[in-house]
Structure formats: C-alpha cells, structure tokens
Amino acid sequence: MKTYDVIIIGGGPAAIVTGITIKKYFNQKSVLMIKEEKEGLVPCGIPYIFNLLGNDADKNKMGPKPFIDLGGEVIINTAIKVDKEKKLVSLKTGEQFGYNKLVFATGSLPLIPESIPGYNLQNVFYIKKSYPYIKELTAKIGSFKNIVIVGGGFIGAEVAEQLAESNMNVTLVESEPNCFSKAFSPELSQIATNVLNNTKVNVLTSTIVKEIVGNDGKVNQVILSDGKKIEAEVVFFSIGYRANSKLAEETGLELNRYGDIHVDNYGRTTIENISAVGDCAQTFGFLTGRSDMIKLASTATAEARILGHNIFGVRIKKCTSGTLGVFSTEINGLAMAGAGASEKSAHESCIEIVSAKFSSPDRHPASLPDVSELTVKLYASPVDGSILGGEAWGGKSVGEIINIISMAIQKSITVYELVSFQIGTHPLLTSSPVVNPIIRAAEEIIYKVMQDKK
Ligand SMILES: Cc1cc2nc3c(=O)[nH]c(=O)nc-3n(C[C@H](O)[C@H](O)[C@H](O)COP(=O)(O)OP(=O)(O)OC[C@H]3O[C@@H](n4cnc5c(N)ncnc54)[C@H](O)[C@@H]3O)c2cc1C
C-alpha cells in the first residue's frame, strides 16, 4: 500500500487548485488526487453548453492537467471510507492508500425537492457538475420543446436564457418577486428580472411549483401555486446546492447547521491532518463573521490557494477573514455584478450603510462604437466611509469593475481614499477620467454624509 504526503478527494476547481498550489510550492511532496469521474466540466460554463457552445459538452471540458504537469498523480475512483486513526482512504474498487494530510474537496450536489409531488418522474433534470450527466442531457435535449426551469437564481436564469435561444419554449418559475434576489440588491435584481423578461424566456415570479404531473411516468405538466398548468416534457430544478459532506460526516468531521464541513481560517477541520476546501466547506460572512453558505468557484479557488500554502504549517498567516460573495452574470448582453453588502443584506445583519450610484459611458467620447452605459453603486459605512459593498451593471467591463470594488471592500478602502484613486483611462477602453463611476459614486456618498451632518 502506498502512502502519500497528501491525498485530495475531489476533482473540481477546489481540488485542482489545491493540488497545483501544493505541487508548485512543495514539489518534493507526493500528492494523489482521487476523482470519481474521468472527464470534468468548467462548472460555470455549463449553461453555455446548451446554446453558445453548440450543445457540445466537450467544448467545456476541464481537468487536472496543470496538476499532473507539476508531478501530481490522479486516480479515477470514488473514495468511500476514511480511517482517520490509521490515516487510510479506501476506494470503491477495494484499494487503499495511506496519507499524511487529507483534503476533502468533495464539492456540492443539487438540492432535490422531495416535497414536490412528481419530482422523481422521468425527464426531471438538475444542473449537475458532471460531464457524463450533462453529455447525456445534451444528447436528449433536442427532442424536447417545452421546458420548465424551477429557480431564478443566476444558474437557473443563465440556463433558461441559453435554452430559449436554442428555440425551446422555456418558462422560468421563481418564488421571489424578482430573480437573482439572493445575489443582488432589490434594485439590481429587478433590473436583472426585466432584462430576462426581454429574452425569449417566459418569466413567472412570485410563483411556486406545486406539482409535476406525469404521463406514463414521464413529465407532462407543471401545476403552479396560482392553479395555472403548463405543458412541459422536461423540468429542470435549479433551487440550490448543498455540501457533499456525507463521507466527511462518516469520517467523524464536524459539520455546521447547513451540513458544510467545519473549518478554520486555513481550511483545517476539527480532526488533525484533515482539511476541507470549496463547496463542501463552511464559509463565514466577510462583514459579520457568521456562518453562511457561499458556494462559488472563485471562493473555492481562493480557499484552495490558502490551503495549499498552509497545509504543512501556516506560512501565510491570517489570509482569510471571511468570505466575500462576488457574483457576476450576463443576461441578454447586460453584465451585472455584486460584491459584499447591499441594502437588503445590511438590513438583515443590522449594518448601517449609506449608498450612492453613478452612471457614465464606459468609453469616451460616448459617440464611439461599442459603448455601454456603466452604473456603479457603492455601499459604505456612514461612520468611517469604508466600502462595505458594491454593484455594477453595464457592458463587459463590469466583470472586472466588481473585482476592483471587491478589493476595496477587502482592504477597507474608504470613500475618502477613493477620491484620489489613481486610475488609467483610454477612450477605447474606459470611462472618461472626469466621470469614472467608482470615484463619482464615492463622491456622491461623501456628499450625502456631509448633507446629513449639516
Ligand atoms: C451551472 C453552474 C454555474 C456556475 N457559475 C459560477 C460562476 O459563474 N462563478 C462562480 O464563481 N461559481 C459558479 N458556480 C459555482 C461553482 O461551480 C462551484 O462553486 C465550484 O464548482 C466548487 O468547486 P469544488 O471543487 O468545491 O466542488 P465541485 O465542483 O462540486 O467538485 C467536487 C468534485 O469532487 C468529486 N467527488 C465528490 N465526492 C467524491 C468521492 N467520494 N471520491 C472522489 N471524488 C469525489 C465530484 O465528482 C466532483 O468532481 C456555478 C455552478 C454551476 C452548477
């Protein structure tokens, strides 16, 4: 039986980045990754398989090649048991491997709505991060015409838009008054819902799926809370993900109330020499320190770098002080993103905020081709002016604008500092320096705070 310095269970972004980081900085250490499926997908690219990528899952593949190139070993198998005393991992096929350090990167699985009658009918699908599952789905999807998608978060909405673009009749059912309401403020989720309404998707908000009715064991109709019936051959559930933490629980690791594996700032679990990272591990709110449930690839890979550096002993100290959810998406050409607090989450956590927004063209002059209106909304502390959150919407630059805002939140930059934020501008690339929306939104907040003090 071979013993490795590190065994990683999992094959998603968290496992791959943990493996790369360890092999890059501790090249002499032996690292084995146990992943259950041979082929992997870029999880965030899955919605685009259904249209932009031509219904071809092979165009969205992702694997551990960078880890293997650094000397990491990979075995395709399922880890079914961990003996924490003997430090052994047992595989489905009976082999065993020893470890000095063990990493759980077992990810998350879609929520199954067992309380909805008909949830187990044939042609009820989930957005699973699984190559064989999605490959099989893409082979079938062309034979369907009417699809109901349950859940208007960013995953359900992205999949709905893509399927509608490929000429299917898509109805998206969301229980909240707006889609995207968990990721964005009420203002931005309303904008996002309006944008989605302008696509070919039939969007039903404030509506709940009561029952899925079958015919011959297959989906035939969806019954809604208002009594309305929708003909459908397929239902996709996109109602959230939960940690895949069964093996961790069986190993004796402590889980939190959401079922996520309890970890400290360095990804260490309650059992010595065992860590957890990514969607299976617990997150803490960046501002509150409260246990929350942010499951993003961006978060998973940040945690994985921290774990990779610190797995043999803390080298880069105190690098995590909570998880800042940074969400971005694009629907019908409008990019939208949010980071940290918004008025809704601040209210729920009793955090005082002041907000302001500013819009300007993202090129200058605005008569240039390819110009979009860019809006930045900042949320700051009325006491010290530190940036607590932000949102942006407009053209593609939003994807990186939100990352600037994320940095400002993480480094506690204040609106007073943003006034002298030194930026580079170019007519074809950015807003005019006169109306940079981050700086101008910060100035608006200062103005509001000064007015309040008068
Ligand atoms: C459709 C979709 C779109 C998304 N878009 C975005 C986005 O735009 N931006 C963003 O930041 N995030 C996005 N996410 C979230 C992101 O995909 C997840 O946060 C990310 O995949 C988490 O990575 P992970 O490695 O922790 O877990 P996972 O990706 O879930 O990987 C876990 C892996 O572990 C393997 N495994 C589990 N148990 C075992 C075992 N016992 N033995 C061996 N292997 C095992 C699984 O097969 C799987 O490969 C999206 C998710 C989905 C589904």
- Ligand 1 midpoint to CA 374 (Å): 31
pLDDT digits 0-9 by tens, 406-419: 999 999 999 999 99
Calculate mean pLDDT across residues 368-372.
Answer: 95
β-pairing, 373-380 vs 354-361, is: antiparallel
Spatial CA neighbour of 40 closest among 151, 160, 132: 132
Calculate mean pLDDT across residues 338-353.
Answer: 92
Q: Which residues does residue 243 pair with via DSSP β-bridges, in sequence order?
A: 108
The residue whose CA has the least distance to atom 28 of ligand 1 is: 107
Tokens matching residue 286: 């960046």
Answer whether residue 195 shows pLDDT above 90.
Answer: yes
The number of the ligand 1 atom at minimal distance from the alpha carbon of 326 is 11
CA distance 365 to 59: 38
Calculate mean pLDDT across residues 3-24.
Answer: 98
- Ligand 1 midpoint to CA 44 (Å): 9
**pLDDT value at residue 321:** 78
**pLDDT value at residue 352:** 94
The residue whose CA has the least distance to atom 26 of ligand 1 is: 278
Mutating to test ligand 1, I would choose from 18, 35, 106 the residue with most ligand atoms within 8 A of its C-beta, which is: 106
- Ligand 1 midpoint to CA 279 (Å): 7
pTM greater than the 0.75 cutoff: yes
The verdict on the CB of residue 297 being under 6 Å from ligand 1 is yes
Mutating to test ligand 1, I would choose from 279, 324, 326 the residue with most ligand atoms within 8 A of its C-beta, which is: 279
Answer whether residue 319 shows pLDDT above 90.
Answer: no
Tokens 């039939």 -> residue: 202
The verdict on the CB of residue 14 being under 6 Å from ligand 1 is yes
Answer whether residue 320 shows pLDDT above 80.
Answer: no
Of all residues in the chain, the percent with pLDDT exceeding 70 is: 100
CA distance 206 to 55: 31
CA distance 294 to 311: 22
Give the 3-state DSSP-derived string for 75-140, with helices as H, strands as E and coil as C. EECCEEEEECCCCEEEECCCCEEEEEEEEECCCEEECCCCCCCCCCCECEEECCCCHHHHHHHHHH
The verdict on the CB of residue 35 being under 6 Å from ligand 1 is yes
Instruction: Answer for the pair 51, 165: CB distance below 8 angstroms, yes or no.
Output: yes
The verdict on the CB of residue 10 being under 6 Å from ligand 1 is yes
β-pairing, 31-35 vs 96-104, is: unpaired
Spatial CA neighbour of 191 closest among 321, 84, 331: 331
Inter-CA distances, 349 with 26, 186, 289, 435, Å: 41, 16, 11, 33
The residue whose CA has the least distance to atom 32 of ligand 1 is: 107
**pLDDT value at residue 124:** 98
Answer whether residue 104 shows pLDDT above 90.
Answer: yes
CA distance 427 to 365: 7
The verdict on the CB of residue 360 being under 6 Å from ligand 1 is no
β-pairing, 146-150 vs 169-173, is: parallel
- Ligand 1 midpoint to CA 241 (Å): 10
Answer whether residue 204 shows pLDDT above 80.
Answer: yes
Instruction: Answer for the pair 123, 145: CB distance below 8 angstroms, yes or no.
Output: no
The number of the ligand 1 atom at minimal distance from the alpha carbon of 241 is 53
The verdict on the CB of residue 298 being under 6 Å from ligand 1 is yes
Spatial CA neighbour of 213 closest among 309, 119, 75: 119
230 pLDDT tier (thresholds 50, 70, 90): very high
Answer whether residue 50 shows pLDDT above 90.
Answer: yes
The DSSP output letter for 386 is: B
User: Coil, strand, or helix at residue 58?
Assistant: helix
The number of the ligand 1 atom at minimal distance from the alpha carbon of 15 is 25
- Ligand 1 midpoint to CA 448 (Å): 42
Tokens matching residue 19: 């493996």
**pLDDT value at residue 68:** 98
CA distance 363 to 84: 58
Q: How many CA atoms lie within 13 A of 448 on its CB side?
A: 19
- Ligand 1 midpoint to CA 221 (Å): 31
Residue type, 150: V
Answer whether residue 100 shows pLDDT above 90.
Answer: yes
- Ligand 1 midpoint to CA 320 (Å): 21
Of all residues in the chain, the percent with pLDDT exceeding 90 is: 93
Instruction: Answer for the pair 370, 363: CB distance below 8 angstroms, yes or no.
Output: yes
Calculate mean pLDDT across residues 84-113.
Answer: 98
- Please give the mean pLDDT across all residues of the chain: 96
CA distance 433 to 425: 6
**pLDDT value at residue 329:** 98
pLDDT digits 0-9 by tens, 242-273: 999 999 999 999 999 999 999 999 999 999 99
User: Coil, strand, or helix at residue 350?
Assistant: coil
- Ligand 1 midpoint to CA 170 (Å): 25
Answer whether residue 318 shows pLDDT above 80.
Answer: no
Answer whether residue 303 shows pLDDT above 80.
Answer: yes
Inter-CA distances, 314 with 18, 30, 184, 197, 265, Å: 15, 19, 35, 49, 10
**pLDDT value at residue 218:** 97
452 pLDDT tier (thresholds 50, 70, 90): confident
Calculate mean pLDDT across residues 7-14.
Answer: 98
Q: Which residues does residue 255 pair with via DSSP β-bridges, in sequence order?
A: 261
Instruction: Answer for the pair 91, 9: CB distance below 8 angstroms, yes or no.
Output: no
Instruction: Answer for the pair 63, 39: CB distance below 8 angstroms, yes or no.
Output: yes
Spatial CA neighbour of 169 closest among 194, 148, 198: 148
- Ligand 1 midpoint to CA 43 (Å): 6
The residue whose CA has the least distance to atom 50 of ligand 1 is: 44
Answer whether residue 71 shows pLDDT above 90.
Answer: yes
CA distance 419 to 417: 5
